[in-house]
Amino acid sequence: MEAFQQAMCDLVASPDLCLTLIETPEEVLGRYDLSERDRRRLVEVVQQPGMLVNCSLYRANRLSPIYNLVPRTCFLLGKSLLEEASEFWKEFKETRLQFHEEVQRFGDFLRRRIELGALRNPLLAEVLEYELALNEFRYFPRVEVLARLELKKTESERVQLHPLIRVLLFRHEPRRLLQFLDELRPPSYELVEGEFWLLLDGKGEEVETKLIDPVVGRLLKAIEAGIAPSMSADDVEALMEAGLAVRYD
């Protein structure tokens, strides 16, 4: 029964696997420890008209959180969205439909695709990181984190980025880029290129974003990575008063 259920789950998740089962049943059925009766049942099931509906519902359920939580990324992917999602589902066949987890895994998948050169849109990486950061804040236990920081004040000289602060590097002017995407304007865009640092502040109920000086952006990113240069006590206090950094033991 367990093997039969696993086979059904795999088939619902993959229309291509259904077609392979119809054309070359032994290639698919040989992957599972099935009785002869269950083998016949699977061959019959995939030929039923309702199987196409099952596959469509599965794909819609998995695509919905991705589309809802990283909409700008999906817009930039355009016609390739479904193709990339299909490749993602081949790699991650199982899902608990935990939206944050599913979107994070899809984001990691796209990062690898970008690094490999499979996705060449120069705006995609910037927008993806921005939306993943927003998504992280969306599920972050903000109140608990702030309360814990208040209780665990320390005089340690070690400093780290505030857990509710993120800094992102854009190579294209971010405000206009995000505005164009929110307006669903199709690429390409005329954008100023350079070094733009966007600070995301999740300490309040709504995430605030603002452009910051590149020098400050590079410093905060170095602090986040644990490779910040030595800072004076005054500089550390200034970062802490601005709510950008915290001391830790």
- Does residue 85 lie within any of the structural domains? yes
* Model confidence pLDDT, tens digit, residues 5-37: 888 877 877 777 888 888 888 888 888 888 999
Name residue, tokens 């199987």: 51
Domain boundary among 99, 115, 131: 115
One domain for residues 146 and 230 = yes
Whole-number pLDDT of residue 100 = 87
Coil, helix or strand at residue 19: helix
One domain for residues 82 and 166 = no
Over 70: is that where the pLDDT of 238 sits? Answer: yes
One domain for residues 103 and 150 = no
Whole-number pLDDT of residue 43 = 86
Q: 241: buried, middle or exposed (CB in 10 Å: 19+, 13-18, 0-12)?
A: exposed
The DSSP symbol for 93 reads: -
One domain for residues 106 and 187 = no
- Does residue 132 lie within any of the structural domains? no
More confident residue, 73 or 98: 73
One domain for residues 12 and 102 = yes
One domain for residues 105 and 53 = yes
More confident residue, 181 or 59: 181
One domain for residues 6 and 99 = yes
Rounded average pLDDT over 202-210: 94
Whole-number pLDDT of residue 60 = 83
Q: Give me the helix-helix angle, 99-115 and 49-69, nearest 10°.
A: 80
Rounded average pLDDT over 178-204: 95
One domain for residues 158 and 53 = no
Question: Which structural domain, as residue segments, surrounds residue 242?
Answer: 141-247
One domain for residues 240 and 203 = yes
Q: Express as a percent the part of the chain with pLDDT over 90.
A: 55
- Does residue 150 lie within any of the structural domains? yes
Whole-number pLDDT of residue 157 = 74
Whole-number pLDDT of residue 97 = 60
- Does residue 79 lie within any of the structural domains? yes
One domain for residues 175 and 241 = yes
Name residue, tokens 């294209």: 172
Euclidean distance between CA atoms 181 and 198, whole angstroms? 17
Q: How many domains would you assign to the chain?
A: 2
* Model confidence pLDDT, tens digit, residues 92-118: 877 666 788 899 999 999 999 999 999
